[in-house]
Structure 1
Amino acid sequence: MTTHDLTKALTALAPEQHKFAIKGIQRGIEREALRIQPNGTISQQPHPKGVGCALTNGHITTDFSESLLEFITPVSGSAEETLNQLHDLQKFTLSQMGDELLWPISMPCFIEHQDDIALAQFGDSNIGRMKTLYREGLKNRYGSMMQAIAGVHFNISFPTTFWQSLQTIKGDTGPLQDFISSGYLGLIRNFKRELWLISYLFGASPALCNSFLQGRSTDLPFKKLGKGTLYLETGTALRLGNLGYTNSAQSSLKVMYNSLEEYIAGLKAAINSPSDIYGQLADYRDAQPKQLNKNVLQIENEFYSPIRPKRNANSGETPTDALLRGGIEYIEIRALDVNPFTATGIDIEQIHFLDVFLTYCLLKDSPTMDWDSQQRSTENLDTVVSDGRAVQVMLNRSGEACSLATWGSDIFSQLNHVAAYMDEAYGVSYYSETITRLSQWVADPELTYSGRYVKQLKESGLDNGHFALALARNYQQSHVDTPYHVYSDSYLKQQAEQSFVAEQTLKAADNVTFNAFLDAYFNAN
């Protein structure tokens, strides 16, 4: 889409009846963080009892492993409130962890063997056992080390008023929810095309401890630092590359984003197709199961994607069934590394940028993407992951070679227009200020998170693990020194206590065996 086309869309939004329609963006954040011992090794302690039950506490839970915490903020229209809630959840959890710390970066360290990574335990209710067996399957399919990687998920939805304005401007007379779902899918396609920019700006995992490789060979151009640090001189986000949260076994899955029906059909095919690779592993019907089932994906959540269309599901409803029932409600961005330069793992500047970037992805024209186009976007991401800060790095832009600097500058010139519209609507100046500041990072890769991280790592003279451990200690002290912003210690303790009651209620409601429970679950899907 040309700048002229985007300007045309923004011009149509300028009149009084549409000018403020964008006000009311809703957000939520899920931040993962490994619990570590004071010496940096992964915690062997169970989930801290003081924070409640991992199965039923909606704000403090675990991800893959018992030591990989996940902090989940409620939906809010205020970015500041969301970050304050995240701060409070982490402050409270640290107070319940004894002398343990939160690992402040995405890539794990100080893990001698993947057996040190204990699977998350969710109790002995049927749903709790299902969650743990699912993780057993992930371990046996991909190894636990990959599952110890932490990230930040950013959820966003645009207000109904904005969708109504856009529908009016475009002269669309169909059902509003169909228009919304189609619009979100257009956003997703544009996000995938320019996902490389997120990795370039905010990728913060250019280094890792060589223990992470567990003897695996890699063709990445690693340099060595200190006793056991490997880093990419011009790389950005190992978490998003082939060593991280990707899965070569899923590379053949043709999940497409041109219509909701096409997306759901692609995922449904994967969760119902027997796997050639995992078929030999025992599933829930065996006495000693190693996975939920023998399909390409055990459940939909196993599909690794940097962005997902979402709808809040009803009890017992799968993500795709929720989408089938009500259409797309919000978008989940899964491409963010933990930001090592802030105690919360994400900062206000990133949120402001994402607000503008995702609005831009929504407003600009979004042609359908065939499989080759999706593959091109993956190749561009791989290039930036391993070499994004190199001089004159080249990307594939619609089939033609284009330098990252040129493409990045083009994007930022369009983001400026979107930011100006959003500033006007919200009565602020921070959107334009953020875009102006981050636009400088395109010309100067050292300003990016990965550029700053490598520079600080070298200057510190420390191994990656010890560098991150020093950050963890600083952030732990910062949480101790900073008061609660939104919640209180007593409120979060009350939530923890209620979660144990909720778990007992769930367990008491079980009226079938575990196998019968899973039979019913998979037959329904």
Structure 2
Amino acid sequence: MKQTIRLEQFERADIRSALAKMNRGIERESLRITSEGQLATTMHPAALGATLTHPLITTDYAEALMEFITPVSTSITTTLAQLRDVHRFTYQHIGDEYLWPLSMPCYLNATSDIRLAQFGKSHVGRMKTVYRQGLTHRYGAVMQTISGVHFNWSVSDELWPLLAAEEGRENNADYRSERYFGLIRNFKRWAWVIPYLFGASPVLCKSFLKHSSADLDFHELSSGMVYVPHSTSLRMSDLGYTNKEQAALKITYNSLDDYVDGLRRAVFTRSEQFADIGVQTGDKWQQLNANILQIENEFYSPIRPKRVADSGETPTQALERGGIQYIEVRALDVNPFSEVGITAEQMRFLDLFLLFCLFTESPELSIECQQATEKNVNKVVLRGREPGLTLMDEAGEYSVQERLAHLFAEMAKIADVLEAESSAYHRALQSFAPAISNPDATFSAKLLRMYEEASKIFQHVGMRFAVEYRDRLKNSGYEFYTEADFQKMAAQSLAEQAEIEAQDKGSFGDFLAAYFEQALDKKKRA
């Protein structure tokens, strides 16, 4: 289905003005590594603060898997300055360690080196660690060391009443959720574009395969690295986060109620496969429960509808209460050509891409059509740079190059109406346009060429980037925050964690039982 933008939607000056005020936030994951390029086995430095409560610095699955978070901002310049500052402060407190600049992990000696992230002694902190223990049993520890970048995005609050009035609709949570689900369905139709352009994991360390059963067409470089010839993002392949039981859930994106019901059903449906793991032996917990999903966050999708949850709320309860507030794009590999894993040009491209998804017609997606979009993504992550590659949609087979050219032309129309920022958006499109007809211009092709060259001289590309980025950021000053700001945030986070721990009552088992009991409650829409 070749979708086109209706430019009459942007004729009003107030709509064009509101359109440009997009909200963005970044979550960037990165492994701490030793100077020898191996996974760090040290604990999260206390000087960085408490991972349970720090607003900007936490950990993901592993104690060594850092996660850096930026506040919501309407300025790309501000967001990237904040992200660089978080990296700068981190580098001041990790000794001689480095931050790994690639999505696929560094050299992995043994799974015992991968220490689960710790969040303190509180019930909520322990729940986070037990959840990660469950992920280990379900999918293996190595898969959880893969890192990515999440792009959080929403249009401005000013835009919604204008759009609703144009359509003769009431500007309420139901209307906004309906529009965001339209965006999500179109994103799924076009999701293959992200790994094609920005996939940056065609190559990985052979040590990873010791812990994986994936049957892919690997070729070996003399440096001990392996690659799949035309792949773009092995992170998004079966090497990454897969769950065969999740594939059978048939969670749809046609309405908020359908999405919430499908996700909640998975959290409360027992899995025979995961039941074999066991849940609890004495005081030792293997996982939070034996259901298809331990909690809602275990469900993998390249895009999620989101709302900031109140204390004690689950993600779906937050959505029920207030509708979709923003969307989270989870399909991005870490960009190895940026010291913080993403660039302003990528963010501008994503702005245009998401606006295209929001403002083009978006029919409901049947389960069969949704599965077809997922097959397109799987095809591109493994064969994206293959000459003459074709994909399928509701209308039949189409060429990757032809469809990309159409998409870029439509996105250029949106760039035209972004007025003050128009030239910057056009430059971003132009910077990625060579990849339309030339797969060698994609991130994955550039990275693979670097590894092929490096293998001849036994120079490790990832380590070279890690050293360069550490030196660059450590030797430059703060741009948005100050050292004092970070010290204050660290101290405050430690105090907040201590307060949470002091307020705990009852046993951990009772806490979990109460959590899952209230998770069944439906919230009334505001």
Q: TM-score if structure 1 supplies the norm length?
A: 0.96
Note if contact 1:40-1:465 (Cα within 8 Å) is conserved in structure 2. no
Match of 1:379 among 362, 375, 394: 375
Distance 1:85 1:245 in 2: 29
Tell me, yes or no, if structure 1 residue 489 matches structure 2 residue 483. yes
Tell me, yes or no, if structure 1 residue 292 matches structure 2 residue 288. yes
Match of 2:523 in 1: none
Note if contact 1:307-1:332 (Cα within 8 Å) is conserved in structure 2. yes
Match of 1:243 in 2: 239
Distance 2:186 2:458 in 1: 34
- C-alpha change, 1:288 and 1:177, in structure 2 (3 Å) is same
Match of 2:258 in 1: 262
Report SS of the residue matched to 2:18: coil
Alpha carbon RMSD of aligned pairs, Å?
1.5
Q: What pairs with 1:379-398 in structure 2 (closer than 5 Å)?
A: 379-398=375-394
Q: What is the aligned residue count?
A: 519
Match of 1:253 among 235, 249, 255: 249
Note if contact 1:228-1:463 (Cα within 8 Å) is conserved in structure 2. no
Match of 1:94 in 2: 91
Q: What pairs with 1:268-417 in structure 2 (closer than 5 Å)?
A: 268-284=264-280, 286-417=282-413
Q: CA deviation at 1:80?
A: 0.8
Note if contact 1:110-1:465 (Cα within 8 Å) is conserved in structure 2. no
Distance 2:305 2:452 in 1: 39
Note if contact 1:157-1:329 (Cα within 8 Å) is conserved in structure 2. yes
Match of 2:142 in 1: 145
Match of 1:507 among 501, 507, 510: 501
Q: Which runs of 5+ in 1 are unaligned?
A: none
Tell me, yes or no, if structure 1 residue 39 matches structure 2 residue 36. yes
Code of the aligned partner of 2:469: Y
Match of 2:429 in 1: 435
- C-alpha change, 1:225 and 1:60, in structure 2 (3 Å) is same
Distance 1:233 1:507 in 2: 51
Note if contact 2:212-2:239 (Cα within 8 Å) is conserved in structure 1. no
Match of 2:16 among 4, 13, 19: 19
Note if contact 1:226-1:463 (Cα within 8 Å) is conserved in structure 2. no
Q: CA deviation at 1:467?
A: 1.4
Percent of residue pairs bearing the same amino acid type: 43
Q: CA deviation at 1:276?
A: 1.3
Give a deviation string over 1:291-342, Cα, whole Å, max 9, x none. 0011110000100111000000001110000000000000000010000001
Match of 1:468 in 2: 462
Code of the aligned partner of 1:150: S
Q: Which runs of 5+ in 2 are unaligned?
A: 520-526
Distance 2:138 2:251 in 1: 20
Q: TM-score if structure 2 supplies the norm length?
A: 0.96
Tell me, yes or no, if structure 1 residue 75 matches structure 2 residue 72. yes
Distance 1:464 1:451 in 2: 19
Q: CA deviation at 1:523?
A: 1.0
Q: CA deviation at 1:427?
A: 4.4
Tell me, yes or no, if structure 1 residue 156 matches structure 2 residue 140. no
Q: CA deviation at 1:18?
A: 2.3
Tell me, yes or no, if structure 1 residue 449 matches structure 2 residue 443. yes
Code of the aligned partner of 1:431: Y
Code of the aligned partner of 2:177: S
Q: CA deviation at 1:217?
A: 4.3
Tell me, yes or no, if structure 1 residue 518 matches structure 2 residue 515. no
Q: CA deviation at 1:13?
A: 1.7
Give a deviation string over 1:373-430, Cα, whole Å, max 9, x none. 11111110111111101110111122511111111111111111111112x2x34411
Q: CA deviation at 1:460?
A: 2.1
Match of 1:498 in 2: 492
Note if contact 1:107-1:239 (Cα within 8 Å) is conserved in structure 2. yes
